[in-house]
Amino acid sequence: MRSLTLLLALVLPLAAADDFGSAQPFKSGDTVCFVGDSITHGGTYHSIVTLYYATRFPDRTLTTYNCGIGGDRASGIMSDEKYRLNVDILGHKPTAATIMLGMNDVGHTDYRGVTLTPEVEARRAASLATYEENMQKLIGVLQKAGAKLTLITPSIYDETTTLATASPSVSVGGNAALGKFAEKVRGWSKQYQTGLVEFDRTMNAINAREQKKDPTFTIVGPDRVHPGPVGHFVMGYIFLRAQGVPQVVATIGIDAKKGKASGAVNCTIGDVKAGPTNVNFDCTEKALPLVVPDEAKAALALVPFMRELNEEKLVVTGLAAGSYELKIDDVIVGEYSADSLKAGVNLAENDKTPQYQQSAAATKISQQRTAIGVQLRGLASQLYGMSKSKVDVSDAAAVEKALTTRLEASQKDGKPADARLTAALDAFQKREQLAKDYDAFAVSLREACQPKPHRFTLTKK
């Protein structure tokens, strides 16, 4: 725990508060659609946001949907209102929605191995103009449908990493072009009075900072486009900072000298029995710490998440000098000095507490729901393509026939079956059960995060 605390202390703020953007937090009862491309489709930033809300606000009912599709553009969504817009997004009847598009809209082929001619410049300008036209149409449609909107600047393209396995095909100037797209998004957030989340500023800052120390670092990944779990956790952190959500899980204050509670933030404290060498009390915290998934834990060295968004502080004053054993529900969870308890210890860092264990179980439920969401998005991607090809995607028989035909065609000349088509056909045949499971896991996640009372005991060693 000491090494983790030291590590977190070294993570410096990357930006002023307003550099994260500004957006209203989601409300209880909201249905939220995260609209985007492959970075949303296969990513987890929205799952981190969902998990935060489940652990921090267990009294709120919040339903979130991954509405990303790989390869999508603003123009793609607006060219398929019948399925992509009206069924895949608006079919959820969102009361809130986020939009992150731009990575495909920028037109990377115009930045790879090309000479900057007037024709290339014209194509680049046309890509920006097309983005501008269709993003504003999409904003208008979602706002007309009653969705409270949050715009997200595009995540970054990493053209500077020297990682040996990084893609040798580099969009030179692609990240700067995305910066122009981000400026448009900032303007629209003011024009249309939407929330704003600034992914690009903090991600660029982290990339620049870390690549000074290690040129092979990338917050994105080897393909220069798609962040992995660490990058997505950073994105989730940025999103939550922009929403201004609470830093504190709970603050549990006890004055051992006076034998009473000295402060309670987001918790209730009772039955305090305390002296200079022993403290006993009951506490029910109204939230849980967020347990960072194992594959994303390296993000804690990049952003001050624990300090800024995950503080579950135990503060005990009036203790005699020395070391104290902490038990919760009669289980030893740690040992702390009187000085550290006086300053306050962050229990969210302690994986032995029952609160941490309860939250870890919730994280697993969240991951199961996320996995089902990715399956459903794979199917949605195929339906989207079919809809553009004039297949009636509301006709189950027509969809199954089209998927089967495409799968068979992919196996010609002894080629292995297209894994995406195989997965989509399987998901289509199980679509009703998958949708039920997706919603059921949302309910299970809320139930798993409900507050529980605990008995705390501090005893001088």
Residue 3, pLDDT score: 42
Which pLDDT belongs to residue 12? 47
Q: H-helix or E-strand containing 453?
A: strand 453-460
Taking a C-beta distance cutoff of 8 angstroms, is the pair 196, 189 a contact?
yes
| pLDDT (0 to 100) of residue 413 | 78
Of 302, 358, 366, nearest to 45 by C-alpha is: 366
337 by DSSP, 3-state: which? strand
What angle in degrees, to the nearest 10, is found between the helix axes of 118-144 and 174-191? 30
Q: Which residue has the tokens 């890509």?
A: 127
**Any residues with CB less than 8 A from the CB of 146 and at least 6 apart, and which?**
95
Q: Any residues with CB less than 8 A from the CB of 107 and at least 6 apart, and which?
A: 123, 124, 127
Predicted confidence at residue 90, as pLDDT, reads 98
Give the pLDDT confidence score for residue 18 in this predicted structure.
56
Per-residue pLDDT of the chain (461 residues; tens, 9 = 90+): 444 444 444 444 555 545 899 999 999 999 999 999 999 999 999 999 999 999 999 999 999 999 999 999 999 999 999 999 999 999 999 999 999 999 999 999 999 989 999 999 999 999 999 999 999 999 999 999 999 999 999 999 999 999 999 999 999 999 999 999 999 999 999 999 999 999 999 999 999 999 999 999 999 999 999 999 999 999 999 999 999 999 999 999 999 999 999 999 999 999 999 999 999 999 999 999 999 999 999 999 999 999 999 999 999 999 999 999 999 999 999 999 999 999 999 999 999 999 999 999 999 999 999 999 999 999 999 999 999 999 999 999 999 999 999 999 999 878 898 999 999 999 999 999 999 999 999 999 999 999 999 999 999 99
Two structure tokens written together for 358: 């309860």
Q: 10 Å Cβ neighbour count for 316?
A: 25
Q: How far apart are CA 280 and CA 270, in angstroms?
A: 9
Q: Are 317 and 255 in contact (CB under 8 A)?
A: yes
Going from N- to C-terminal start, the domains of the chain cover 16-243, 248-358+450-460, 360-448
pLDDT of the residue at 84: 97
pLDDT at 15: 53
Beta pairing, strands 195-197 & 148-152:
parallel
SS3 state at 85: helix
φ, ψ at 31 (rounded to 5°): -110, 120
The whole-number pLDDT of residue 8 equals 40
Q: Where are the beta strands (DSSP E) in 234-322?
A: 248-255, 260-265, 267-274, 278-285, 311-317
pTM of the model: 0.94
Strand partners, 153: none
How is residue 195 written in tokens? 């929330």
Q: Are 334 and 351 in contact (CB under 8 A)?
A: no
Residue holding tokens 């962040």? 227
- Under CATH, what is the fold of the domain 16-243? Rossmann fold (3.40.50)
Q: What residues pair up with 150 in beta bridges, in sequence order?
A: 98, 195
pLDDT of residue 67: 97
Question: Residue 456 pairs with which residues in a beta bridge?
Answer: 281, 328
